[in-house]
Amino acid sequence: MNRTKKKWIASMAVVPLLAGVIAGCSGGNNGEGPANTSAENNGGGSDKPAAPVELSVFRWDFEGVDSPESAIYKRLQEKLNIKVKPINASWNDWEEKLNVMIASGEMPDVFISNGIGKPIQYHQWIKEGLILNLSDYTSQYPNIGKVLANFEVLAKSTDGKHYGLPIGNPGSSKNSENGHNILIRKDWLDKLNLKVPTTIDEFYEVAKAFTENDPDGNGKKDTYGYTSSSGGVWWQYPIFNAFDASTGRFQKTADGKFEPEVISPGMEQGIGLLNKMYKEKILDPDFMLNTDEQKLEKFITGKVGIIVNNLNSTFYTDITNKFKKAFPDKDPKSIFTWVGTLKGVNGQQRMDGSSSFWLQTSINAGISDEKKQKVLELMNYLLSEEGQDLMLNGIEGVHYKVVDGKKVPDKDAVDKDKGFLLKSLVSWNTDFLPDSLANREDIIAAAKSTGDFAVPDPLEFMAIPEDALDPGMVGELGDYVNQQVVDMIVKSKDVPADFAKFKEEWLKKGGTKLVEETNKQAAAEGR
């Protein structure tokens, strides 16, 4: 998952999403798996309800999820006969606190971690038998099984077994997503009688017109066609993708081998285009210095006509509001729109996607069978339609009311109920858009324009042993790529010659070893 998305989810995860489209919560067992009621735990001979099973649950912001004032928590208690004991930490130290607890033998019953995102640690937990093999329970808990079935690639390095539940968007079969987009000034297109570009060639022509043809009508040549922001050359990936290339991925060849895209002919072409745009003053000279906010400010104030930016519902709303403030007498839709995924030189559309989950939930393998069952019931229920409806909408009459067939949320009631946070044990629901959300149809269309073309990394989460490949060398190689690609964009007078030198040096600096070990590990994992 990319860095922007992680940052956004980390902030949004603490705000329950409102309103929904799924059927209301009922008292029946729609969890599609075992769910013991208090009577079932009774031993059959007494009318006295069994004591709730206490589960210690860890995430950085779970404080208050067990509040007696939480109607959500009360509903879960009634449904599953559980008692949640939250273990909290700050966002800045949650990983450290988790590692200390595990090292000291105080592993929580259920917890969130980076999981396979930190493969060395994850594999050590598995080797020591610390976390539960969830694959053994998929037939009993089918909602968990459905999620795991979408992420078989994650089990390639762990003998085909899953030891963590990927936290993503339940119901989605996508294993890759992309929430970015190429944004463009629609008013400039209209002023110059241009159409939204659909190919990489049209992208260049429109960006050139935005630089040379006075799109803001002030009689001055003071606009740039395109800019980006800091973060290495990372934000240029939609341009490189149009040439079927990237700075960090490997591509599988016809003979089954993996070759690095960073030294491919397509990468040379992509650098060549950006070099040309820089020389012609189409590319903002500060493209590597802008912060994300400065990039957006230049777009809104009319200093630049095209940017690449996050465009999920939160960012779409934020950008719309910024345009409303800057141009109170205009409809933001008349000022900006999105390009989507450009057709590349091969006629195909590609936008590198990130994994459709972030973090994983694991279960302590050392807890009692009763606790294991209750944790699995909780996760399976939260993934069910009934559970998802509860965690997205809440309870009718408490968190929302139905008006004209639509659920209208009580924002204050939702914000106060910390029980909603338990949803994040299984889902972020980043693709859920309330019916009442402004610009909902536009947000959906924008998401499809890149999300439908999101391409997964064929080697994502592959872990090469440190004794085979020094991670420090890999990091240095990445730094070398960033510096040299920028230098070629800005300084090169002969891109083909400079790219040939770059390729030769990249291989000498460790690239040859990286390619060799990558192919060895890919073969071992059946990639």
**How sure is the predictor about 15, in pLDDT bands with cuts at 50, 70 and 90?**
very low
Residue 32 has a pLDDT of 54
What whole-number distance in Å separates Cα of residue 355 and Cα of residue 166? 10
* Residue ranges of domains in the chain: 54-176+358-433, 180-352
Assign domain 54-176+358-433 to its CATH superfamily: Periplasmic binding protein-like II (3.40.190.10)
**Least trusted range by pLDDT, from 45-54, 199-208, 395-404, 414-423:** 45-54
What does the buried/exposed string (b/e) look like for 141-168 if buried means 16 or more CB atoms within 10 Å of the residue's CB? bbbbbbbbebbebbbbbbeeebbbbbbb
Tell me the pLDDT tens digit for each residue of 90-110: 999 999 999 999 999 999 999
Considering only CA atoms, which of 167, 57, 53, 154 is closest in space to residue 101? Answer: 57
State the pLDDT at residue 41: 45
Tell me: the pLDDT tens digits for 67-79? 999 999 999 999 9
3-state secondary structure of 290: coil
pLDDT tens per residue across span 437-465: 889 899 999 999 999 999 999 998 888 88
Q: What are phi and psi of 264, to 5 degrees?
A: -85, 160
Residue 295 reports pLDDT greater than 60: yes
> What is the structure's pLDDT at 47?
65
**Three-state secondary structure call for residue 17:** coil
Segment 16-45 shows an average pLDDT of: 42
Task: Please compute the mean of the pLDDT values over residues 253-278 and round it to a whole number.
Answer: 97
Find out whether 244 and 266 touch, Cβ atoms under 8 Å.
yes
* pLDDT, average across residues 1-9: 44
- pTM beyond 0.85, yes or no: no
What is residue 169's predicted lDDT score, i.e. its pLDDT?
83
Query: What pLDDT does residue 117 have?
Result: 87
Residue 16 has pLDDT above 80, yes or no: no
Q: Is the pLDDT of residue 18 over 50?
A: no
The answer to whether the beta carbons of residues 451 and 408 sit under 8 Å apart is no
* Interval 218-234 mean pLDDT: 92
pLDDT of residue 253: 93
> Which CATH number applies to 180-352: 3.40.50.2020, 3.40.190.10, 3.40.30.10, 2.60.120.560?
3.40.190.10
State residue 434's pLDDT score.
Answer: 73
Q: Residue 216 above 70 pLDDT?
A: yes
The per-residue pLDDT for range 359-412, each reduced to its tens digit, is: 999 999 999 999 999 999 999 999 999 999 999 999 999 999 998 888 888 889
The mean-pLDDT minimum among 33-37, 135-139, 303-307, 433-437 falls in 33-37
Say whether pLDDT at 9 is over 60: no
Question: Is the model's pLDDT at 432 over the cut of 70?
Answer: yes
| Tokens of residue 524, six digits | 């071992």
As a whole number, the mean pLDDT across the chain is 90
Give the residue among 456, 455, 462 at the shortest CA–CA distance from 520: 462
Q: Write down the residue that tokens 């934000």 correspond to.
A: 235
pLDDT digits (tens, 9 = 90+) for 463-487: 888 899 998 999 999 999 999 999 9
For residue 43, what pLDDT band results from cuts at 50, 70 and 90?
Answer: very low
